[in-house]
Structure 1
Amino acid sequence: MANLFARFLRPALQGSVTAALGLSVLAAGLASVPAPAAAQSFQSCLNNLWPAAQRAGVSRQTYTQVTAGMTPDPDTVRLMGKQSEFVKPIWEYLDSAVSSSRITTGRQMRQKYATQLAAIERRYGVDSNVVLAIWGVETSYGGFMGQHNALRALATLACEAPDRTEYWRQEFVTALQIVQAGHITPDRMESSWAGAMGHTQFMPSSWRQYSADYDGDGRHDIWTNQPDALASTANYLKSFGWEAGKTWGYEVELPAGFDYALADEETWRSLAQWRRLGITRTRGREFPRPSDQAFLLLPAGANGPAFLMLKNFEVIKRYNNATSYALAVGHLADRIIGAGPIEKSWPRGDRPLSRSQVREMQTLLTRKGFDTGGVDGRVGPMTRSAIRAYQKRTGQIADGYASVKLLQQLKG
């Protein structure tokens, strides 16, 4: 989703010990507060937010209309205290995000909005199929936009979240400004539980910076006007450096004896240089622009598919900073226009580690003399380097993949 939420809240829910404990304590604490007292506290918080809204140009009438009788969103309270301890394997994520039904619906939407998508691509220089794929991955082409009200969700976070309070308050005030300006009525401001809004899930601050008025009616309506939402998404990608006329990446095959230390997501080479190292496109196809720069990605280690990723892959990650998300968007875009599935099979029996298992793995590697840079439950560059060193010492393919099988070896 096009917002800061994707960059800091999602990691917090998936493994940040401090944030996750704080959110869990918050949820437990809220559950123990008597309902009348909690409601009174929430209304007091809303009253305290009025001066900031007033300074931002929100009228008292609008503020009262939005906040009168408002109560905390129970789903927001519940979900901001929920940790995601177990990481879904990338192949399971892709099974859902790039399902046959999503591909079929994407092709139908491509035909339905062909004129608008073509105009958006000309205007912004962004591949319209990628824009369409983001729509599909974010909300199933508008089929599920969260079923929450952005104003209520953001007010809940502004008043109840244990940290980044100022961020949530600014998002709430910005949402009020959107209503004040007449872009959407309060009751139609549909969002996720965390306030990501509309067809392509913009936070209010991202809406303010990047939303677009496709049809020139004076409103940037990402909730009920699909072309506005698609144009907004294209504008977002353009703003972060989308390279027109280029793709996001290629599935490739690696030669025998390849040095997997080069797959560190930081080593950029031209496609021609990768080709000289023996890397080829699947099915013997050529790279259309050998001078394009790319890095090598092995999302499931040496036993899974390999990809050379271009700059546009990194641009997609600005929408949601997760490798699985960006791969899903790129692959769905390709499938919509008729490309086939990913060719190499995923190692479905070699599952990735949960956050607690990563911490256990890091502890064991450190005890064996391999520096992981700390025990934090995250597989970063130093942890991958430590895994490679261990794998090399034990005569394995040194791909740096943190799997359950690796943990079992370390424990054995």
Structure 2
Amino acid sequence: MKLKNMLGRLLLSGLCLTAASCTSNIKETDRMDAFIQQMAATHQFDESELNELFQSVQIKENILKTISKPAEGLPWHKYRNIFLTESRINGGVKFWQENAQALAAAEQQYGVPAAIIVAIIGVETLYGQNTGNHRVIDALSTLAFAYPPRSQFFLGELENFLLLCRDEHINPLEPTGSYAGAMGIPQFMPSSFRTYAVDFDHDNRRDIWHNNNDVIASIANYFSRHQWQPGQAIAFPVKAKGEKYKAILKPDLKPDLTIAELQSFDVDISASLPINSKIKLLAFEQEQNKELWAALDNFYVITRYNHSPLYAMAVYQLSQAISNKKASIYEENHNPHFLFHSDQLRYGADRKNPDL
């Protein structure tokens, strides 16, 4: 792109408010131009078409502010309260009931429990209610060109986004998502979409924005491809004597300790597990103390969706809460003792009011 056109674009966008911001924006545009040239050379995009496309792209200051304060920076007891709410639990039961057939089919095909799939959707977007209102191309461009700490990652995601738009015949200016460019009901990043999204109902579209069948199967496929172990435990609380356990609290999340090794650090394992199980000891901050959990391989798989133990624990506990609520509703509706009690109440009301 010629320098005259480049400066004209900056001035028209209203971004050059100070000399410092002008310098920054010129650097952003230089990075954008280099990216466009790379896409043309590597993937045979038309360079002039990409230049025209990126003239409509906006660098968003609010995205840069938001990414510096992720929710995962909260202590567990505050983070948990965001996701373990009655509305999210009840919404999960409703979503499960409305999509029971697709959830059962996905669980059968991929081995991933319906409750985990539902909880992922609940944590990510409140069952599709909050999918984000940023244009994906704006979010990815902002972080690729104006956020140096993770620019390489987001350059890769921007590359994948343009490729998926070409493959799926989508206008790149239309998809919306989160401030980080996560898309649709399951909040897939573009690279995840290209690798794991599934056309579950065979309509020749992988629609994670509107089609719950595709959403459910895509999440199940993601977990299956990350080595979900059907029928295996996820995590369980443990107790420890003294403070020896602190030596095995490490930031990496992959299970790396045996039962015997945990016990040697005075951690009490009361659950019945296969003797060769690998475990990661995790501490979650409560208001007055720390809660210790033994996390297994399936817990680690959840962290492949979002690399945060807080996130994985929220998903796990929400899945349990949804399952328990769904089971209690089923019990109420199918327990003859409950039905008899309801009839008794109705009979008593009838006697008081003959018109009922």
> Which TM bucket (shorter chain)?
0.7 to 0.9
Seen in structure 2, the aligned counterparts of structure 1 residues 31 and 160 have a Cα distance that, compared at 3 Å, is farther
Selected match of 2:107 from 118, 121, 135? 121
* CA deviation vs aligned residue, 1:271-306 (integer Å, no higher than 9, x gap): 9x96xx78366xxxx648676543443323894433
CA distance in 1, matches of 2:222, 2:39: 26
Report the residue type matching 1:300 in the other structure.
Answer: E
What is the distance in 2 between the residues matched to 1:44 and 1:295? 44
1:115 is matched by which residue type in structure 2? Answer: Q
* 1:261 Cα deviation from its structure 2 partner: 4.7
What residue is the counterpart of 1:231 in the other structure? 217
1:335 corresponding residue in structure 2: 321
Q: CA deviation at 1:188?
A: 3.7
Q: Distance in 2 between matches of 1:128 and 1:318?
A: 18
* In structure 1, C-alpha distance between the alignment counterparts of 2:70 and 2:162, rounded to whole Å: 31
CA offset at residue 117 of structure 1?
0.7
Note the C-alpha offset of 1:39.
Answer: 6.8
Asked if 1:241 corresponds to 2:230, the answer is no
Code of the residue aligned with 1:268 in structure 2: it is L
CA–CA distance in structure 2, aligned partners of residues 231 and 56 of structure 1: 29
Match of 1:131 in 2: 117
- Whole-Å Cα distance in 2 between the matches of residues 76 and 58 of structure 1? 27
Q: Which residue of 2 aligns with 1:75?
A: 62
- Per-residue CA deviations over 1:79-135 (Å, capped at 9, x if unaligned) read 34x356994220111111111110110111111111111111111111221111111
Write out per-residue CA displacement over residues 117-155 of structure 1, whole angstroms, 9 at most, x where no aligned residue. 111111111122111111111111111112111112112
Distance in 1 between residues matched to 2:325 and 2:282, nearest whole Å:
20
Contact persistence 1:52–1:173 (CA under 8 A): no
Aligned equivalent of 2:338: none
Among candidates 233, 239, 257, match of residue 268 of structure 1: 257
Cα 1:338–1:263 change in 2 (3 A) is farther
Note the 1:6-405 alignment, pairs <5 A. Answer: 32-33=18-19, 45-54=31-40, 55-59=42-46, 63=50, 66-80=53-67, 82-83=68-69, 87-182=73-168, 184-253=170-239, 260-261=245-246, 264=249, 268-270=257-259, 279=268, 287=272, 292-300=277-285, 303-338=289-324
Q: CA deviation at 1:258?
A: 8.4
- CA displacement, residues 324-363 of structure 1 (integer Å, 9 cap, x when unaligned): 11111100011110079xxxxxxxxxxxxxxxxxxxxxxx
Structure with the greater alpha carbon radius of gyration: 2
Alignment deviations for residues 157-186 of structure 1 (CA, whole Å, 9 cap, x no partner): 222222443432222121111111225443
Give the direction of change, closer, same or farther, for the CA distance of 1:264–1:339 in structure 2 (3 Å limit).
Answer: farther
Q: Please report the TM-score for the alignment, with normalisation by the length of structure 2.
A: 0.72
Tell me, which stretches of 5 or more residues in structure 2 are unaligned? 1-14, 327-356
TM-score relative to the length of structure 1: 0.63
Provide the rounded CA distance (Å) in 2 between the counterparts of 1:183 and 1:246.
Answer: 40
What is the alpha-carbon distance in structure 2 between the residues aligned to residue 162 and residue 304 of structure 1? 35
Aligned residue type for 1:202: F
Verify the 8 A CA contact 1:248 1:313 in the aligned structure 2: yes
In structure 2, relative to structure 1, the CA distance for the partners of 1:184 and 1:230 (3 Å cut) is farther
Change (3 A) 1:89 1:124: same
Q: Give the whole-Å Cα distance in 1 for the aligned partners of 2:181 and 2:19.
A: 24
Give the structure with the larger helix fraction.
2
Q: Alignment length, in residue pairs?
A: 305
- What letter is aligned with 1:162? P
Calculate the aligned-residue CA RMSD, in Å: 3.6
